[in-house]
Amino acid sequence: MSTRNIYLKMKTLEEAREILFSRFTHITSLPGEIVSVPDAVGRVLSKPVTARLSSPNFHAAAMDGIAVKAEKTFGASEASPKELITNRDAFFLNTGHVLPKETNAVIMIEHVNIIDEKRIEIEAPAVPWQHVRKMGEDIVATELLFPQNHVITPYCVGALLSGGIFSVSVRRKPKVLIIPTGSELVDWKDMDIDDLKPGQVLETNSFVLGKLAEASGGVYERYEKVSDDAGKIKESVLKAVDSEYDIVLIIGGSSAGSEDYSKSVILDAGEVLVHGVTIMPGKPVVIGMVKNKPVFGIPGYPVSAIVAFEQFVQPLICKMLGQPEKERQKAEVLTAKKITSKLGVEEFLRVKLGKVGERIIATPLPRGAGCITTITEADGIIRIPNHVEGINAQTPVSAELLRPLSFVNNTIVVVGSHDNTLDVLADRIRAGRNNLTLSSSHVGSMGGLMAIKAGVCHLAGSHLLDTADGSYNVSYIKKHLPGMKIKLVHLVFRDQGLIVAKGNPKGIKGIEDLAGKEITFINRQGGSGTRILLDYRLKQLEIDPEHIKGYDNEEFTHMSVAVSVLSGSSDVGLGIFAAANALHLDFIPVVTEQYDLVIPEIYFDTENIQILLETINTKDFKNRVEVLGGYSTKKTGEVSTIS
């Protein structure tokens, strides 16, 4: 019979890390292994390395010319040139050649006058060791080249080989065994994607964590997934700790669910040191010790798993290799809006970043621990301390950078209404200009205008219908951005309508059917152009929103609306044809609307915005948009001025 886990007393991140490192001091020095120098790049020396040869190991010419004994050249001048006999007083040689005995200087060939085959003339004296690389100038035999725990770089290879070192002793890479657990998991390598059944989940965490282990300096292996069976999981763990593995990760089964076995398995086989850490995501992590080896229960949600790995496993690997913990570059950023956070929990908030004016603006991404894209799309992480309830809008905070600062500085920040053409635009800009990126955040058309007003974006996507005259965007810009000079760039016309399941099983014909008792609707968020359109049509039809089941259920993108319909959680949603078409759903047209880019004039003439405008006017961009379906590009790129 399954029983629910009860968290032990949760620890703060600082407490949990202190427990981890204090209990595993005995494994923070791995033995060495011998590898050839070229193969040692990226590895950590387990012993100091001293040179066996001097470099150079002879006095060598540093210039093409003649080798001479400097003292024999003294007194030479333009007024009184000195004549030297070749192969007696002077010896021709090239750069890198050995200096003949009894010579100690080189005169450049450009400063030599050749009289005949046996005689030359110089017009200036040489000084001892002029243009000569002395023996041992770079490396002296027996000197220390690199100390213990030094990381070998490609540059080091040249120094080692020059010093006569052809193999070195490096620390063995920590071996990490990853055990994915869960009866719902399926291996993507053995799976036809079309055969994936509801309830089945592709097992991906082990590969993500494995590659993180490699990036940290370790190596990994993975067991084939183990079903939700405590006995089988325990057997796998014991087998691992009895073999050559240094760290064991059990993925899944670390939370308080009735079939989460990590804690009980570790407790049964060894000792649980920590169960639950006051961080979000990553709270359910388990830290244990079995036969003096660290065994972790890693949460099953992807972002939780990554945060738990980076905060505990990665620094442990670094300590095993005698290396300092990896630190990310940081930058001061301003938050685009107020961010609330839970007291008592340290939150790792994923954010998009972009430089707007002289400030780096941070826009929060969704906080779901199960959404891997909140890491892949993130440019940085803001850590909100556990004693803070949140961050006020445009408050300076420190962000850990997940991408280089140069990337952040070359990002066009778009905030506002979602449209699939923005993805096409981002791809085309990146393809044409490798150093320029477009980053879009979806907060609805009104949210985009407010972002422009606050100065936290370069432009906004908008399709706000003026119900008085049928125009788009202009009246809203004049109302909400008074006195601000704006360039309105037309991007596309697009078909907006009702997205329904294939075959339209509920027989929906139009917005008038949304109030049907057997129909579940999925809405867009307040302030979005789609929501304004819906409310306008409902008012025309005299339909009370309270009579629409699901009116208060909101999504932030057209694709999310389409997915809700595809999954069966909703029968219908209002969205664009391109979203319905992408997921092979049916579509009932309602209106063809205008989608524009709202650009403050202060940014319009900047190089990055001009690149964006060049891109949307290309035939390639327009063709890619037309292929999506439901779009017209007949006026794409047209610009009007609003002031």
pLDDT tens digits along 282-314: 999 999 999 999 999 999 999 999 999 999 999
- Through-space distance between the first and last CA atoms of the chain, rounded to whole angstroms: 70
Instruction: Output the CA–CA distances (angstroms, integers) from residue 58 to 91, 104, 107, 158, 402, in the order listed.
Output: 17, 12, 18, 18, 48
Q: Are residues 187 and 94 part of one domain?
A: no
**pLDDT confidence of 27, banded at 50, 70, 90?**
confident
Checking if the pLDDT of 196 tops 90, the result is: no
Task: Let me know the angle formed at the C-alpha of 381 by 377 and 382, rounded to the nearest 5 degrees.
Answer: 140
Q: What is the C-alpha separation between 159 and 152, in angstroms, rounded? A: 10
Predicted pLDDT at 256: 52
pTM here? 0.86
Beta bridge partners of 298: 251
Q: Are residues 524 and 573 part of one domain?
A: yes
Q: Are residues 178 and 310 part of one domain?
A: yes
Share of the chain above pLDDT 90, in %: 84
Q: What is the C-alpha separation between 73 and 83, in angstroms, rounded? A: 9
- By CB neighbour count within 10 A (0-12 exposed, 13-18 middle, 19+ buried), where does 219 fall? middle
HEC letters along 223-286: CCCECCCHHHHHHHHHHHHCCCCCEEEEECCCCCCCCCCHHHHHHHHCEEEEECECEECCCCCE
Find the mean pLDDT for residues 149-169: 97
Find the mean pLDDT for residues 485-505: 97
Find the range with the poorest average confidence among 231-245, 252-266, 362-376, 553-567: 252-266
SS3 475: helix
Checking if the pLDDT of 328 tops 80, the result is: yes
Q: Are residues 153 and 242 part of one domain?
A: no
Q: Tell me whether residue 86 is in a domain.
A: yes
Checking if the pLDDT of 434 tops 80, the result is: no
Predicted pLDDT at 7: 53
Predicted pLDDT at 1: 38
**Model confidence over 394-428: pLDDT tens digits?**
889 999 999 999 999 999 999 999 999 999 999 99
**pLDDT confidence of 532, banded at 50, 70, 90?**
very high
Predicted pLDDT at 3: 46
Structure tokens of 32? 């060495």
Predicted pLDDT at 2: 42
Checking if the pLDDT of 367 tops 90, the result is: no
Residue 315 phi, psi (nearest 5)? -65, -30
**Model confidence over 140-157: pLDDT tens digits?**
999 999 999 999 999 999
Share of the chain above pLDDT 70, in %: 97
Predicted pLDDT at 258: 42
Q: Are residues 224 and 264 part of one domain?
A: yes
Predicted pLDDT at 394: 85
Q: What is the C-alpha separation between 104 and 132, in angstroms, rounded? A: 8
**Model confidence over 544-567: pLDDT tens digits?**
999 999 999 999 899 999 999 999
**pLDDT confidence of 4, banded at 50, 70, 90?**
very low
Domain of 187, CATH number, reads: 3.40.980.10
Domain of 42, CATH number, reads: 3.90.105.10
HEC letters along 534-596: HHHHHHHCCCCHHHCCCCCCEECCHHHHHHHHHHCCCCEEEEEHHHHHHCCCEEEEEEEEEEE
Predicted pLDDT at 83: 94
Q: Are residues 487 and 625 part of one domain?
A: yes
**pLDDT confidence of 531, banded at 50, 70, 90?**
very high
Q: Are residues 538 and 633 part of one domain?
A: yes
Q: Are residues 335 and 289 part of one domain?
A: no
Structure tokens of 639? 């610009």
Q: Are residues 550 and 521 part of one domain?
A: yes
Checking if the pLDDT of 221 tops 50, the result is: yes
Predicted pLDDT at 437: 93
Q: What is the DSSP letter of 620?
A: H
Higher-pLDDT residue of 78 and 2 is 78
Say how many domains are in the chain. Answer: 5
Map tokens 């886990």 to a residue: 5
Q: What is the C-alpha separation between 618 and 614, in angstroms, rounded? A: 7
Beta bridge partners of 106: 67
Residue 402 phi, psi (nearest 5)? -95, -15
Q: What is the C-alpha separation between 448 and 464, in angstroms, rounded? A: 11
Domain of 372, CATH number, reads: 2.40.340.10
Domain that holds residue 400: 330-409
Q: Tell me whether residue 415 is in a domain.
A: no
**pLDDT confidence of 198, banded at 50, 70, 90?**
confident
Answer with the one of 171, 191, 217 that is the final residue of a domain.
171
- What mean pLDDT, rounded, does the chain reach? 93
Q: Are residues 264 and 198 part of one domain?
A: yes
**pLDDT confidence of 8, banded at 50, 70, 90?**
low
Q: Are residues 307 and 189 part of one domain?
A: yes
**Model confidence over 472-489: pLDDT tens digits?**
999 999 999 999 999 999
Checking if the pLDDT of 98 tops 50, the result is: yes
Predicted pLDDT at 527: 87
Q: Are residues 399 and 545 part of one domain?
A: no
Q: Tell me whether residue 289 is in a domain.
A: yes
**pLDDT confidence of 260, banded at 50, 70, 90?**
low
